[in-house]
Amino acid sequence: MELLLAIFLSALTVFVAIAFYYGHDKAEVPHEFSERKKLYLLHYLLNFAFGMATFLDKVGIVSEVHFLRATMENIPPLKDKHLLIKDLRFERVQVRIYQSKTSNTSQRRGVLYFHGGVGWLGSIRAYERTCRYLARKSNSVVVSVGYRLAPEHPFPAQFEDCVTATIHFLRTAQDHGVDPSRVVVCGDSSGGTLTAAVAQALGNRRDVPKLRAQILIYPFLQCVDFNLPSYQQNGRIPILLRERTLVLGLKYMNKDLSVLPELFKGRHVPEDLRPKYQKWVSPDYIPQEFKTRGYKPSPTYPSSEEIYAHTKAIFDPVFSPLLAEDSVVAQVPETFLLTCEFDVLRDDGLLYKKRLEDHGIKVTWCHLQEGFHGTVFSATLGGGAAFKSGIKGLDKVVNFLRLM
């Protein structure tokens, strides 16, 4: 037993060393970033978690996905005596509802929150602090949606659960003290993707109340171009490195990682669809001020029918909401959009902002100049783990909700 423990601790030490070396070698935090050391530390910890997950999976102790899920769920929730919290099911979907214990004669606004995690990580528990904060600070009834995760439940099960939960809540809002005309959908990262997709899906529905607004927090929105200025500028900035973005997405969609180099070259986009997608996804639509940190137009490579056939599902607007037809985009509700300067997904948000405004959709845009992917999630962690940009971003979300 002692020998096994020694071997395990030795392997653990090696992985710590590798995580720090890999993190230092691959990561690049701008010198002007005021919390530079903290972001490096967060990056090292994430590399260690991913490294340990891979190691434990290979030696047969626990699968990669279950280790990473457990790591996220190990974030202890804060106690909150001011909120009434209950677990329910909206049809087949698990939800947790947060609402103030103080009596209120008028009906409150409702917020459905779709957590991030690339469709195969994250949970209600992992986002406990975020949802409590939103409920308490905005005086809203917050519904955290525990949608099913991949790979056990392949895409688009996550979207289907979010739609189911949203429709159920819209139809039963008054049972929870919520005005059905004041329901907002909200999500961060891949949860922002789900939020955009749900808002699009319900835009033309006449059998349920209209959504009051959607809140998109640094969402992934398109699979066409992974060489936009933000991908080039921020590809080595933690926590969402350029390569990691695609690796996580391909794992979510259960696709072979060997296609990664072809995706970076854009060879997955068919020749006949390129003109259509370029109307919506093009560096030409990114304001010049976002190209000052460097941008080099990428060469055009011939498309590959084989690569397209393998990755065709990622062009589904449920996965890439920026690729939805104009008639669909035109029906979405008022939008709050948060982007981060040091995020590979920044330009996804900028491009969607343009499309929404082109269709007359009111957009409240919050750009965090020192923001990075995941910063808003950090805002409620406490113990010095929160980033200033994350706190600012979450408070901007709260301020927007108070106006709904």
Residues with catalytic roles: 189, 343, 373
DSSP letters of 356-384?
Answer: HHHTT--EEEEEEEEEETTHHHHTT--TT
Q: Kindly report the backbone phi and psi dihedral angles of residue 384, in degrees, each rounded to the nearest multiple of 5, phi listed first.
A: 80, 0
158 contact partners, CB below 8 Å, separation of at least 6: 119, 147, 148, 149, 150, 194
What DSSP character marks residue 121?
S
Written as six digits, the tokens of 108 are 């409150």
Residue 259, H or E segment: none
Q: Is residue 151 reached through a cis peptide bond, with omega within 30 degrees of 0 on the bond before it? A: yes
Amino acid at 117: G
- C-alpha pair distances (Å), 31 with each of 21, 54, 66, 339, 404: 19, 31, 36, 20, 38
Strand 83-90 vs strand 93-100: parallel, antiparallel, or unpaired?
antiparallel
Q: Cβ(277)–Cβ(311) under 8 Å? A: no
Collect contacts of 37-41 with beta carbons under 8 A, ≥24 apart: 38/387, 39/238, 39/239, 39/372, 39/387, 40/238
Secondary structure class of 304 (helix, strand, coil): coil
Q: How many residues does the chain have?
A: 404
Q: Cβ(164)–Cβ(90) under 8 Å? A: yes
Written as six digits, the tokens of 234 are 């921020």
Q: Cβ(255)–Cβ(298) under 8 Å? A: no
In sequence order, what E strands does 125-175 have?
A: 141-146
352 contact partners, CB below 8 Å, separation of at least 6: 196, 216, 219, 221, 321, 322, 337
Give a three-class secondary structure readout of 2-50.
HHHHHHHHHHHHHHHHHHHHHHHHHCCCCCCCCCHHHHHHHHHHHHHHH
